[in-house]
Amino acid sequence: MNMEKKVYKKYADAHAPSSPILKNCIWAFFIGGSICAIGQCLVFLYNTVCGLPQKDAGTLCSVTLVFVAALLSGLGPFEKIAKRAGGGTLVPITGFANSVVSPAIDSKAEGFILGVGAKIFTVAGPVLLYGTLAGAVWGVIYWIMSLF
């Protein structure tokens, strides 16, 4: 049985298309970097032109990027960009927006309550849950350490 698995793996590896790793990494680097550069431009715009404090400008930048990524996910262009850029669109905050919107789009045929409402956080839900839990645990640890 083990020999059959080895033979099959060899056969599958020989017939699988090769992945252009270097090209994919370059695309991810430039698209992800472009998203981050746009974010930095937004922070500069909100800070200097609108006169917001740096902290508020950063928050508004995050909100803007999430909104634009969610909008592009809903309209369709985000998927085309993500196919080309791969991890470059997933690493910045735009990947979070896409992970919330995509399941909602996929399940809209099931209705707003049992489809969209029930499945909107299927991908992002664990991230939110464990991120919040980790933040609470670290907050308690920080609080205990501040007592000493």
8 found inside a domain: no
DSSP for 22-53?
Answer: HHHHHHHHHHHHHHHHHHHHHHHIIIIIS---
pLDDT 10s digits, 115-141: 777 777 787 788 788 888 999 999 999
Q: Does the residue 18 lie in any domain?
A: no
Residue 11 located in a structural domain: no
pLDDT at 2: 61
Is position 1 within any domain?
A: no
Return the pLDDT at 85: 86
Residue 10 falls inside a structural domain:
no
pLDDT tens-place string over residues 55-101: 999 999 999 999 999 899 889 898 888 888 888 887 768 888 888 88
11-43 pLDDT per residue, tens: 888 888 888 889 989 999 999 999 999 999 999
End-to-end Cα separation, the chain, in angstroms: 60
Q: Does residue 81 form part of some domain?
A: yes
Domain count, the chain: 1
Residue 130 maps to a domain: yes
Domain hosting residue 134, numbered range: 24-146
Q: How far is CA 27 from CA 24, 64, 88, 147, in A?
A: 5, 23, 7, 48
- Examine the pLDDT at 47 and tell me if it is beyond 80: yes
For residue 12, being part of any structural domain is answered with: no
Give residue 3's pLDDT: 63
pLDDT confidence of residue 46: 97
